[in-house]
Amino acid sequence: EPEVTQTPSHQVTQMGQEVILRCVPISNHLYFYWYRQILGQKVEFLVSFYNNEISEKSEIFDDQFSVERPDGSNFTLKIRSTKLEDSAMYFCASSPAPAFYEQYFGPGTRLTVT
Amino acid sequence: ELKVEQNPLFLSMQEGKNYTIYCNYSTTSDRLYWYRQDPGKSLESLFVLLSNGAVKQEGRLMASLDTKARLSTLHITAAVHDLSATYFCAVDASGSRLTFGEGTQLTVNP
């Protein structure tokens, strides 16, 4: 069964460093998402992406964040200058279309900022 | 701003008992999803509810959606230990983002 994959599974970085989190969505899906979950809290939407542009972003997704689909398979989330409060689990998701279709979540990348 | 509230947030129950988790949301939507999350793991899709009155069942879990009341329920029948996990409801009101509830941490005791 096709699945969303994410790398790395765990990333440790120092405050102020740039990180890139990678995702490979399910191959025939067209819509891609990033969510984050701070330990013990609920899952929060960051951004949705379709047709090589951002469809919607939350207030969390400020200028420090960017997303890109650099080739036909990868979907990346870049955090330019990490802060301690960026420590969280980051989930990538994909769906064949928005609305009426479930989003399939990847296993997540645990980001620890020290 | 869409708000999604679950209750209870913590639920400890004995094996064999029944219980219901409630998910209320604040904006009109007819798309609601239930996910299960085990500790340190990703989100596993349980149910997709796409219309008023939708009811879906899988094993000991049954989910329903009442869009008029803006309420979904996840009913657990004859709980078993394997159901111990955190359960999230999520509402899609815009077509491009899911808004999650706080999650219900379920512990089923022998």
User: pLDDT tens digits, residue range B87-103?
Assistant: 999 998 887 889 999 99
Yes or no, beta carbons of B97 and A106 under 8 Å apart: no
* Number of helical (H) and strand (E) elements in chain A, helices listed first: 0, 11
Assess contact for A76 and A20: CB atoms under 8 A: yes
* Number of helical (H) and strand (E) elements in chain B, helices listed first: 0, 11
Of the candidates A61, A50, A101, A46, the one whose C-alpha atom is nearest the C-alpha of residue B100 is: A46
Task: Provide the CA B36 distance to its chain's centre, in angstroms.
Answer: 8
Residue in A41, A43, A48 closest to B96 by CB: A48
CA-CA-CA-CA torsion for B72, B69, B97, B84, nearest 10 degrees?
Answer: -20
SS3 at position A113: strand
pLDDT at A97: 80
The Cα–Cα gap between B67 and B49 comes to 10
pLDDT 10s per residue in chain A (114 long)?
A: 789 999 999 999 999 999 999 999 999 899 999 999 999 889 999 999 998 999 999 999 999 999 999 887 899 999 999 999 999 999 999 998 876 678 999 999 999 999
Q: Residue B26: is its pLDDT beyond 80?
A: yes
Amino acid present at B105: Q
DSSP state of B84: -
Tokens 């983002």 correspond to B97
**Residues of B whose CB is below 8 A from A105:** 35, 42-45
Residue of B2, B36, B43 to mutate, testing the A interface (most A Cβ within 10 Å of its Cβ): B43
pLDDT at B53: 86
Yes or no, beta carbons of B97 and A108 under 8 Å apart: no
CA-CA-CA-CA torsion for A12, A14, A16, A21, nearest 10 degrees?
Answer: -10
Q: Residue B102's closest chain A neighbor by CA? A: A42
The Cα–Cα gap between B66 and A60 comes to 30
Residue in B44, B45, B97 closest to A48 by CB: B97
Assess contact for A46 and A58: CB atoms under 8 A: yes
Instruction: Please check whether residue A90 touches B, CB under 8 A.
Output: no
